[in-house]
Structure 1
């Protein structure tokens, strides 16, 4: 296919500058986004192993709830949750803070029945490690809020608009040679050509995934503006109708059994298994019960489950994230957008697929910046803007990865000695990140690139080594190796980073004209 040379030049400029402007922010979003596919496994990996206090799915939840209502009526009427899969205390409520947000001092009250059928209660800090990974994915680490959302969400939304332009312009640039060079990886023509071929192959092969992510991120970032803009066309009616409150207040003493609520959820969604139920405002006229419903063989609309909203006294279904039919087209549309972005379909294969595609997305932005820097360096290796961008690219990209791995390691050990490691997560990430960026500007991109990759290899090996050391020093040896997938993946990435470091060192030895 022939495209006029002036059109190609125009789109090449669009592709280059949209990629450069948005690339570093999107690198963090994609890298952290790939980790969110296993954020709970990573959080469990960093959590100290403890002996089970109950058996999941066999506990007498109603006896536990009844005893808790008698001893703690006020707290239970405000709201409580039951985790149906845990082997720790299944019933909990927040004594400080709430579920949503990044508050680091949230406190949970955890309750279970001991072997004598006595109620046992303990206080525990809520771990925010999984939330930190998700926070980096959604905001790229930008602090502050605009309205009721983080500023980083809007920054990533703007970056995703540029990202979409980069995708479209990149396809147009490749059209004349797409068929001929699509699968060509020409190592013999030098590292620049190899990087370019790899960049093009990853970009085109994963184009549908990238278009989905670009579109859904824009919707997530600007959904309030979208709803407000559409509202006048629908007579200012709410797109998502809330059920009216009851004429009277309910009392927790009349609450139907937990078994009845779970049965109502199962009857509404055959084939789905309730794994968590959260009840709130139980002594008001608008009580709710939110049930997380799991089905590994189905498309779910939440990050990892579907959601069912019940009226806990009448057991009426108020809303759900399941397909609602033609009368709820807005809800169905939003649910589909969530499902496409979260990758909650295809079971474990889907999760691993989104994990790999997320890493490929990060590679796309990283390689794009390197190609631009290589081209600029050939013209003037010592130009100040080129040196600045080279240092910034290496500092931000490698620094964000090093900071996350270091934070995981910090959590693994700090959790052994303190009840609340949340502050150490946040401080370690930002301290390591900014120190590495400063190091990149001090030592230059080539030096920092090599030692950054070597450091990553060492930190990843330390992850597996930490699990081994802790397993040896405890009687729960085999329970530590429930996290074998995390440790095995860390070793694989250690090898990848090590061989990448060797390649960088070899290139540096033969390419003295690269930015320093």
Structure 2
């Protein structure tokens, strides 16, 4: 295919600058997003062992729910009933007590006190506070905000900024595809290794970009939708839905004042949900606003063969007192065309279909996206460095080139090292900072992240790349080493979970740590052997 050189020049400029302006933020979003594909195993890996309270049948749950709601009024606003037992669930009932309300309605309450309730070994009902690790939620928050704090109105500032970055990201993808069209067939899957390192990095950048293009287009589009969903939903509510609620009714006007003792039996609720969604398994019942004007049970329903609204499950709504299903729009195949479109946005972004194979695929694609932004910035640096001419003195690289190289190394490798350190520090943090483990995560992450950025600007990109890659390797290898320490020395404050999902966290970290150490050795060799005018040369650094 032949395209005018003027058109290619315009699109190349567009691709370069939109990639540069959004690349570092999107690297953080993609790297953290890849980890959220295994949020539950990460949470379990980081959580201290808890006394497991026995599961309960539906009749026992009815009495337990009633007792908890009478003794703990805070649970009436939001309490979750777990119908499926696994190692990450310590009890059949769980809720949180908040000292203050979130004025924005978003974010994570790090100070919330978690409680759980169930039955002890004697069959007696027990309610007790539990230590809550929010590691998975904090990584997810990093994925959605890139770690940028603050609010604009009712929305988090970081989400809005990443929404703009997602729009630029879509432009970069489209313009990059147009640039490659003339040589797409000839150069597809071509990786030219040799002395020209820039050509190798460009080939790798192009191959990953083209092979994962559908995934990246989906993510770019859904990021924009999520960031500005209030605007989209408000517009749809006025122009499409009119008087009809967008996601179904929550029970109509509160014509009847109900008493907590009138809650529908759990067995009846499950039966009604199964009638509405026979192909799905009911895994959780979340009771919300039981004393408010719109009480609701949000039932989580699971089937890996369907595209669903949530990260793992689909949802439906049940009136907690009548047992009637009042919200079906989030059940796959139910609801309007518009709600189906919205559900597909969520499902394609979360990878909430196909079970573990799709999750691993999304994990690898997320890492490939992070590589795209890292390699794109390095290509920008390499293409703008001043090259030494024959018999001329070594040129001084421009400030913009040096600063972009340092920022790329500091932000990208600093993010990796900081996330790994926060994960590895989970077990140690329970011992050092038991009262505020979630605050400990934030201190570790931001301390290492900003320290890495400062180090990169102080030492220069070439030296800092070696140091920070070694830091990435060491902090990542600390993850399996902490498990090994807990296994070899059980009396210690460190623990070791031996289930397959948590051990896979250790195995993945072991592989990643080895890759980071190998990359550090390659960077050290490059620093010595690179041409004198390269930004990665020891002489230039």
Q: TM-score, normalised by structure 2?
A: 0.90
1:292 shift after superposition: 1.1
1:385 shift after superposition: 0.9
1:74 aligns with 2:73: yes
Give the corresponding residue for 1:83.
82
1:472 to 483, 488, 508: 488
Query: How far apart, in 1, do the equivalents of 2:430 and 2:240 lie?
Result: 52
Query: How far apart, in 2, do the equivalents of 1:119 and 1:37 lie?
Result: 35
Query: How far apart, in 2, do the equivalents of 1:101 and 1:62 lie?
Result: 32
1:132 to 138, 163, 166: 138
1:381 shift after superposition: 5.2
1:239 to 243, 246, 263: 246
Query: How far apart, in 2, do the equivalents of 1:314 and 1:55 lie?
Result: 25
1:494 shift after superposition: 1.0
1:284 shift after superposition: 4.5
1:369 aligns with 2:377: yes
1:161 to 153, 164, 167: 167
Give the corresponding residue for 1:180.
186
Q: Is this contact kept in 2: 1:135–1:141, CA < 8 A?
A: yes
Query: How far apart, in 1, do the equivalents of 2:375 and 2:426 lie?
Result: 31
1:260 to 234, 257, 268: 268
1:278 shift after superposition: 1.2
1:395 to 410, 425, 428: 410
Query: How far apart, in 2, do the equivalents of 1:160 and 1:322 lie?
Result: 28
Give the corresponding residue for 1:430.
446
Give the corresponding residue for 2:155.
149
- Structure 1 window deviating more from structure 2 (311-320 vs 365-374): it is 311-320
1:477 shift after superposition: 7.8
1:51 shift after superposition: 4.5
1:257-280 deviations in Å (ceiling 9; x for gaps): 212212222222123212211112
Give the corresponding residue for 1:385.
400
1:358 shift after superposition: 0.4
SS at match of 1:82: strand
Give the corresponding residue for 1:406.
421
Q: TM-score, normalised by structure 1?
A: 0.94
Q: 1:28 to 1:315 in 2, by over 3 A?
A: same
1:485 aligns with 2:504: yes
Q: Is this contact kept in 2: 1:288–1:310, CA < 8 A?
A: yes
Q: How big is the alpha-carbon RMSD for the aligned residues of Structure 1 and Structure 2?
A: 2.3
Higher helix share: 1
Query: How far apart, in 1, do the equivalents of 2:533 and 2:108 lie?
Result: 45
Give the corresponding residue for 1:322.
331
1:127 shift after superposition: 2.4
Map 1:339-354; keep pairs closer than 5 Å: 339-354=347-362
Q: 1:58 to 1:378 in 2, by over 3 A?
A: farther
Mind listing any 5+ residue stretches in structure 2 that lack a counterpart? 388-394, 536-540
- Structure 1 window deviating more from structure 2 (206-215 vs 499-508): it is 499-508
1:204 aligns with 2:190: no
Give the corresponding residue for 1:7.
7
User: What is the count of residue pairs matched by the alignment?
Assistant: 514
- Structure 1 window deviating more from structure 2 (453-462 vs 25-34): it is 453-462
- Structure 1 window deviating more from structure 2 (83-92 vs 105-114): it is 83-92
Query: How far apart, in 1, do the equivalents of 2:376 and 2:75 lie?
Result: 54
